[in-house]
Amino acid sequence: MMDTIAATIKGVYMVGSPKQMSPVVLLADGDNIMPIFVGHAEAMSIHLALRKELSPRPMTHDLIVSLIGELGGTVERILIDDLDEGTFYARLVIDAEDSHKEIDARPSDCIAIAVRTDAPVHVRKSLFDQVAVESSELEGVSSLDEYIQ
């Protein structure tokens, strides 16, 4: 099995200049932070789930979690394991009826599902070491709460 670290989801933030802000999920291992840029819809989905806020109707990630549960599965963990030309790759690891399934998915979708299921977030150690920065190196990062009212 590959060498992985268990990362903590620090939250969803905004980075960039005032004219060009981008959402980013920060994963942490100690003082080292791994930023993963995500889309605005995924950022809101992750942010709301971290705050334990429920939408009146199921969002896509809520639907996926319900489907997995209704089909007798559980989310064992998510694994972020590759980076190719600026794009991260991840897998949703599901246990269902004595079988183990790994499903290719975007890291943002995996993180949104992990937050909803309390599943651990694992990152390939070599990948984390390659892209992580010290928290003191992060600049221009602000809370997503400042942008949603």
Q: In angstroms, rounded to a whole number, what is the distance separating the alpha carbons of residues 42 and 14? A: 13
**What is the architecture, at CATH level 2, of domain 4-147?**
Roll (3.10)
Are 12 and 112 within 8 A, CB to CB? no
pLDDT in tens, 104-135: 999 999 999 999 999 999 999 999 999 988 86
pLDDT of residue 98 exceeding 70, the answer is yes
pLDDT at 25 over 80: yes
pLDDT in tens, 62-94: 999 999 999 999 999 999 999 999 999 999 999
What pLDDT was estimated at residue 16? 78
Extended strands (E) in 48-146? 73-84, 87-96, 99-105, 121-124, 133-134, 141-143
DSSP state of 139: -
> What single-letter amino acid sits at 51?
R
**With pLDDT > 90 as the criterion, what percentage of the chain qualifies?**
70
| pLDDT the model gives residue 1 | 55
The model's confidence at residue 147, banded by pLDDT at 50, 70 and 90, is low
